[in-house]
Structures are given as C-alpha cells and as structure tokens.
Amino acid sequence: MDKVSGSAAEAVADIGNGSTVAVGGFGLCGIPSVLIEALLASGVRDLEAVSNNAGVDDWGLGRLLAAGRLRRMVASYVGENREFARQYLAGELEVELTPQGTLAERMRAGGSGIPAFYTATGVGTQVAEGGLPWRYDSDGNVVVSSPPKRTETFETPEGPKEFVLEHAIVADFALVRAWRGDRHGNLVYRDSARNFNPLAAMCGRVTIAEVEELVEPGEIDPNHVHTPGVFVQRVVALTPEQAADKRIEKRMVR
C-alpha cells in the first residue's frame, strides 16, 4: 500500500479541533517541523499535545503555542519556552508534567495495547499522591490538580517495594520525523533523532511521518527498520530544503 501523501497540508487535513496529537522529537532534535507548520496553517484549535517538550518560542510546538492553538500539554520538560511558562502561569494552558521515562513508557504502552503499568518513579511524591497544579486561573490560584494514583506493594529482589500505576497514552494522531522512509511507511531514524519518535509513532491511532529521504519498498534493510509500516498511515516526502532546515536549540561556544 502506497502511503505517500501529496503534501503536508493534505496529510494533516483531518486533524480536527480538540484532537490529541503525540509529537516526536527531543528539544529541537528530530521534530516534525514541516507537519507542525502545516497544522498551524490549517487553523485547527484546542489541541492536546503529548511530547517530551514544547519546542522553543519560535520553532516546533512553540509555533502552535504562540498562536494559542494548544489547550493542554502532556510533557516532561518545558524549560526553554518562555511563552509556555507564561501561558501556564496565566491560566491559559493546562499542563500535565510527567517524569520523562514514565512519559516514554506511557506512549510505548499505548502502542503495545497495554492499558496501564506500575513503576517506582514518582512514589512518595505528588506524582503519586496528587496535587500537582495542572491549571491555574488568571490570579494564580490552582483550579485543576493532578488526582492521586493507585499504588501497590510488590516483592522485588531487594524486598517489598511500592509502585504507582500509570495509564497508557493513545493519541488521535501522531506526528514524527524520520531520516529515511519507504512508501509502505517503514521508518529509520538517525542517531539522537530517534529519541521520542518511535514512541510517538506507536501511540497514534493515525500516524503521519515526514521523511527526509523517501525510498522504494525493499530499499531499507528489514534489520534496520526502527518503526514498522504497520504503525504508520501517511508519509510526507520532504524537499531537500525542508530536510536541511534543522534548528539548534542553544548554541554554546568556548
């Protein structure tokens, strides 16, 4: 089955208001910037984004934030985005901060058909006990807090240990970026751009991949495939200029 879409705009056309969208990438590495721009241009609103972070003020998910298109964010790190902090503290954006490894496993579990799992991460903190501020009002009062989560004690090699129950994430759509991809949707990520992309691709009911190099089926060694085509519904081939447009989050000099 040829899954190649004619354009990024065509690929995201059915993402509607209020959708939940999982987005690959880490910082600005491996983010599906072309699909994000197409989503911005579509005018869609009230999105819930699930991603490790929210980009920066002028790139990645930061573009949707600045336009007021996100109503909720599930993320583990948001420190590089001033607009994100402003919207959160002003009561304009609901934020569910999640430990990074827990977020990764929640996405992987969603793609694996596992509804929930136990982890030791967060036990004894507000992650498990509840009370993390999810939404403020305009006066800085907490109006929505995280609920308490179920905990259980299990035997481990070190003795009894408490674990907290975390629920899987299944998104309406997922946007990812791959180094190479074929017309059947098989994807290969390069180096650190692999990060959250395979997990986002797994947890989307409809997964859309932008690929820097589109190849024909059979050209990718099956042993090198990171995301099998069964997880991918649409593929967008990038132009050389789009593929080369990669921002650096923070430049450091000696």
Tens digits of residue pLDDT in 30-88: 999 999 999 999 999 999 999 999 988 889 999 999 999 999 999 998 877 889 999 99
pLDDT of amino acid 144: 97
CATH 3.40.1080.10 domain span(s) along the chain: 8-115+168-244
Beta bridge partners of 117: 166
Rounded to two decimals, the pTM is: 0.94
The CATH class of the 8-115+168-244 domain is alpha beta
Question: Contact, 21 vs 175, CB < 8 A?
Answer: yes
Structure tokens at 46: 């009230």
User: At residue 75, what are phi and psi to the nearest 5 degrees?
Assistant: -150, 170
Question: Contact, 206 vs 185, CB < 8 A?
Answer: no
Least confident of 79-83, 104-108, 218-222: 79-83
Element at 143 (helix H, strand E): strand 142-145
Distances (CA, A) of 57 to 63, 83, 96, 148, 212: 7, 6, 19, 32, 24
